Chains A and B, each alone.
Chain A
Amino acid sequence: MTFASMAFGSMTFALALEIVLAAVVLTGAVWAIAARETLPAVAGFVAYGLLLSLVWVHLGAPDVALTEAAIGSGLTGALLVGAAARLRLSEVPMAVEHPGVILRMPAAVLSVTVAAALAASVLLLPDPAPTLAPSAAENAAATSLGNPVTNVLMAFRAMDTLLEKIVLLLALIGVWSLAPDRFWGGRPGPRHYADPQGVLAFVARVLPPVGIIVGIYILWTSADHPGGAFQGGTILAAMWLLVMMAGLTDAPPVGERRLRLLLLAGPVVFLVIGLSGLAFGDAFLAYPMAYAKPLILAIEFAMILTIAVTLGLLVAGPPEREPGS
């Protein structure tokens, strides 16, 4: 085989892989939409999220892949299953209400238009596409962190990250507000029970320690390698939910002071450090160069606690039991 034909061979292999990947992702999307019942649809959605994280890895974006796998696929899947379980009682009458053609045609047209617009804007991008990546890479020395994504999230666009954390809190308050007045401040979800000798209790004892280590590792490594507080926090939330599902611990009452302090820890630390940037530095959220890395790490450690608790409570749902029970 000549060198040219070998090079051609590996090129078509790569192309074939991309075609197969795209085809499977599309299959997953179609399955998720075509399913008639909620449980298969959610399973298809989780599979679709997993396939998307494969695509992200292929595109060289492991941070996004981590987020997609953790939140887009895993945690959202559990959230949807919980919602589906709550809807199960009303699912039988809902199956009779089938949206008519009059509603579905415009919806189809709208979806196709949006998809076409997205495809056009991606395909018509100028080459090279406009991007701030080179200037972000140039200024990486400002924080002495090796991971450019962390640089952008925690230093160059720290304002966005701060506001996102506050949005998470708002979402949680929104979920809590779904509870009837008498349950406000109570414990979310029913009391789960699993046989203490059974398999579920066993795995809920063995897996969470591993999960906690991995979650903290993902945070710790985000300084120089792909990772982040968000992804680590999601893993911690999933482990906490696992322990709750096995009945080894009960959900805390949402009015508990300690819980609310944990929820505030992340944004408050972020805000305090940001304001001290105003006092001691150049501007809001400006870190003094010498202390940039330890400040960022402090913010991230506070954030991972808040994110873990917030995401866990979001999936657990609105309070369903009276406080003091």
Chain B
Amino acid sequence: MTEFLTAALGFILAILAVGLVRILRGPGDADRMMAAQLIGTSGIAALLLLGTVSGVPAAVDVALTLALLAAFTSIAFVKKGTARFETDAPGSTEAE
């Protein structure tokens, strides 16, 4: 079981590395934000797996913290990554 989870963890880490490529390549801010989101989610998955593999039960707390902070940081990226955007409801026009 530990070996299987370790293999899954290595797999997720590899996926994380590939996501990093997308962050660098882009093109465009939206793609980079998406890559950051993917890295956040796979990071949380890796953390949960690692907690079970390494026998650190507090890894779930770290994942909980990471989930909240990743939400905050992603939104900060979107909010600041572009010139200030005012409205985000569908069908709305921008008021600059």
Contacts and interface: CB of A to CB of B under 8 A. Distances in A.
Nearest to B35: A43
The contact size tier of chain B is 35 or more
A207 B69 CA distance: 11
Interface string B1-19: 0110011011001101101
Interface of A: 9-10, 13-14, 16-17, 20-21, 23-24, 27-28, 31, 34-35, 39-40, 42-44, 46-47, 50-51, 53-54, 57-58, 60, 62, 65-66, 69-70, 73-75, 77-78, 81-82, 84-85, 190, 192-195, 197-200, 203, 207, 210-211, 214, 218, 221, 225-227, 231, 234-235, 238-239, 241-242, 245
A54 B46 contact: yes
A203 B10 contact: no
Given A13-B3, A47-B19, 9 more contacts: A21-B13, A44-B24, A50-B66, A57-B59, A62-B62, A77-B73, A195-B88, A197-B89, A239-B72
A74 B16 contact: no
B72 A16 contact: no
A77 B61 contact: no
A40 B32 contact: yes
Interface of B: 2-3, 6-7, 9-10, 13-14, 16-17, 19-20, 23-24, 26, 29, 32-33, 35-36, 39-40, 43, 46-47, 50-51, 53-54, 56, 58-59, 61-62, 64-66, 68-73, 75-77, 79-81, 84, 86-89, 92
A17 to B, nearest CB: 5
Given A20-B14, A34-B24, A195-B87, A43 B36 contact: yes
The SS class assigned to the A binding surface is helix
Contacts of B92: 195, 198
A210 B72 CA distance: 13
Nearest to A197: B89
Contacts of B62: 53, 57, 62, 65-66, 69
Nearest to A62: B58
B73 A44 contact: no
Contact of A53 (B66, B77, B81): B66
A242 B72 contact: yes
Contact of A39 (B13, B56, B77): B77
Q: Identify the interface centre among B23, B76, B92: most chain A CB within 10 Å of its CB.
A: B76
B60 to A, nearest CB: 10
Given A57-B50, A70-B69, A214-B64, A20 B10 contact: yes
Given A47-B20, A195-B92, A242 B75 contact: yes
A218 B42 CA distance: 23
A227 to B, nearest CB: 7
A73 B58 contact: no
B23 A47 contact: yes
Nearest to A59: B54
A57 B87 contact: no
